[in-house]
Amino acid sequence: MKVRGVTIGLSPLHLIVVAFFIGLFVFSYVNTKETAFLIWGIPLSLVLLIIPVFNSYSVGSQYVRLLPEYEEQSKRVRIKQITLAMLGKPVRVEGVVQAVKGTWLCRPTLTIFDGSAAIVAKKSVPLEVDVSVGDNVEVVGMVVRRFTIFGDVMVHAIGVKLVENLTPLEEEEAPKTEEIRIKKY
């Protein structure tokens, strides 16, 4: 669902929690005939639905505002060039999607391979485009650690878009093929 150009996501987990509490309050009302369960319970359960929707809109609108700035400041890099020294720097990477996870939680995680290496790109809001394994994508985001204190680097994606063709690897970046010799004993 889009509101004012911002994609809003609501995971099935949120809906299950809200349905559970509404069912609990209705069950309590049926057993006790106390209307306070309905008067207080159902609006409070709906608040459990409103909070994640508001959060998704709030974060999504920040991403929409930040995207032009990131697109302007980011440098196109190969995945193998991304190191811990680049933490906090805006980058732009292209590659083929190898895996897509977390879309049902509205926190998509893409594994991207560009011919030199693979990296994880994670976004905190739903994707604006439908991405599947094998698609060519361009990710604009910031280099961060996967975990706060330790762990490998990943890209916190601000924008993800599909591209027709990937930028070819430079000659010095292309993987070198070596001749393999098998010794006979």
Write out the chain in H/E/C secondary structure: CEECCEECCCCHHHHHHHHHHHHHHHHHHHHHCCCHHHHHHHHHHHHHHHHHHHHHHHHHHHHHHHHHHHHHHCEECCHHHCCHHHCCCEEEEEEEEEEEECHHHCCCEEEEECCCCEEEEECCCCCCCCCCCCCEEEEEEEEEECCCCCCCEEEEEEEEEECCCCCCCCCCCCCCCCCCCCCCC
Q: Is the pLDDT of residue 182 over 60?
A: yes
Fold of 74-162: OB fold (Dihydrolipoamide Acetyltransferase, E2P) (2.40.50)
What pLDDT score does 109 carry?
92
What pLDDT score does 126 carry?
86
pTM for this one? 0.75
Annotated domain spans of the chain: 2-72, 74-162
Q: Is the pLDDT of residue 169 over 70?
A: no
What pLDDT score does 185 carry?
67
Mean pLDDT of 139-166: 86
Mean pLDDT of 81-101: 91
Q: Of 34-38, 65-69, 129-133, 144-148, which gets the smallest average pLDDT?
A: 144-148
